[in-house]
Amino acid sequence: MFADPSSVEVIEHTALLTNDATVLGIISIMLGLVFYTFTSNKPFWNKFYSVVPMVLVCYFLPSLLNTFDIIDGEKSQLYYVASRYLLPACLVLLTLSVDLKAIGRLGSKAVILFLTGTIGIVIGGPIALLVVSSISPELLGVTGPEAVWRGMTTVAGSWIGGSANQAAMKEIYGAGDQIFSAMVTVDVIVANLWMAVLLIMAGKSEGIDKRTGADTSAITELKKKVELFHAKHGRIPSLADIMIIVAVGLGVTGFAHLFADIITPYFIANFPDTARFSFHSKFFWMVVFASTVGVALSFTKARQLEGAGASKVGSAFLYILIATIGMKMDVRMILDAPIYFVIGVVWMLVHASLMLFVAKLIKAPVFYMAVGSQANVGGAASAPIVASAFHPSLAPVGVLLAVLGYTLGTYMAWLCGQILQAIG
C-alpha cells in the first residue's frame, strides 16, 4: 500500500553551481566530449554508441548534474533561453531546405499515429486512475481542489498540447496548487523517460522496421533527396556563409518574438475564447512564425545556404536545447510522490501500447510512431529532437505535428478530464 499522497513533502535540494554561465560552459563541454567520443575510432566508443544513441547521451548526462545537486535545473534560465532563442532559430535553419512534396509523400500514417497517440492519452489517464486506485482506493472520492483526477487533467493538457493547455486545464478543473505541483513532477519525469525510450528506438529503427515489414520507402526517398542536394550544393563554408546562416536564424527569431508580442495581445483582447487553441501563448506564435518563414525560405535562393551547412548550425542549436531539457530532469523527484509516478507510468504504458499496436497494424515505420508520440507528449520543443534523431531532414515533420497538438490540446484534455471526473 502506498503512503497517503496528501502527506507527501517536497524535499529541498541546494545546488553547488548557480551561475548559468558556468552551467552553460559545463554542458557545452559535455556535448563536445560526446561528439568527440562519437567520432572516435576506438573500439570501445564504437561499440558503446552502437548500443546507446548519441542523442540520448547528450540528453542524459546533464540530468546527472541536476540529480546530484551540482546544478538546479528548475531555477536555471538556460532552458528558457534555449527554447525562446535557439529553438526558433533551429526551426528556421532545419526547415530551410525542406522538401514539402517529399514530406507530403510520407503519407497519412504519421497523422494517424499522432491521433492514435492523442487517443492513448485521453483513455490512458482514466485507465491509470482505475488501475492504481484498485491498490490505493484513497485516490478516489476526494471532492476538493486537491483531488487526484483534477491534477491529472493538467498532465493530459501538457501531454496532448503544451504548457498553455496545461495551465488551461488547471483553471478549467480547479486543480489545487499541491496536486498541480505533484503532477508537474509526473509530467516532467515520465515524459522525459519516454523520450529516452524513443531515442533508443530511433537508434534501432532499421532493425525494428525490417522485423515489422514497415514500408520506409518514402522516408528513404526523402533522405536521398537531402543527400543529393548536399552533394550538388555542398561546399566548405566561409566565414561569410556562417554569418549569413546565423543572421537568418537569429534574425527570423527576432521577428518571431516581435510577431508574438503583437499577435498574442491582439488575440487575448479580441478573441478570448481562442485560448483553448493556444492562441494566447507567445511561444505558440513564435514556433508558428519561425516554422512558416523557414518553409517560405525553402522556395527561395536561401535554400542554397543548406549547402554551406545551415542544418548543421541548426543542429548545434538543437543539441544545446537537448542538454537544457535534460538538465531539468531529477530522478529523485520520483521518491517525493511515488503513487503519482505509478499513475504516470501506467498512463504512458497505455499510450505506448496503443501506439505500437496501431503502428504494427498499419505497418508504419518506427519514425511515424516515435514522432507522433513525441509531438503529443513533448510538443514543439522536443518533437524535432526525436525526428532529427532519425535524420535532420525529418525535423519539420515533428514541428508540424506538434503545432497540430497545440490546436487539439485543450479539447482532448477537456474530454479526458470529463472521463476522469466521472471516475474520481
**Residue ranges of the chain with per-residue pLDDT less than 50:** 1-11
Q: How many residues does the chain have?
A: 424
Question: Is 45 part of any domain?
Answer: no
Position 1 scores a pLDDT of 41
Enumerate residues 6+ apart whose C-beta is below 8 A from 268. 275, 280
Position 199 scores a pLDDT of 86
Helices (H), 52-162: 54-67, 78-81, 87-95, 100-104, 109-133, 148-160
Phi, psi of 69 (to 5 degrees): 65, 25
Angle among Cα 67, 68, 74 to the nearest 5 degrees reads: 50
Question: Is 305 part of any domain?
Answer: yes
CB contact at 8 A, 382 and 194: no
User: Between the CA of residue 250 and those of 5, 25, 244, what are the distances in Å?
Assistant: 45, 21, 10
Question: Is 24 part of any domain?
Answer: no
Mutual angle of helices 282-297 and 87-95, in 10-degree steps: 20
pTM as predicted: 0.68
Question: Is 138 part of any domain?
Answer: yes
Question: Is 394 part of any domain?
Answer: yes
Count the Cβ atoms, other than its own, within 10 Å of residue 123.
17
Task: State how many domains the chain has.
Answer: 1
Question: Is 42 part of any domain?
Answer: no
Count the Cβ atoms, other than its own, within 10 Å of residue 78.
22
Question: Is 66 part of any domain?
Answer: no
What the block records as the C-alpha cell of 224 is 536521398
Position 175 scores a pLDDT of 83
Whole domain around residue 327: which residue ranges? 88-423
Question: Is 23 part of any domain?
Answer: no
375-393: b (≥16 Cβ within 10 Å) or e: bbbbbbbbbbbbbbbbbbb
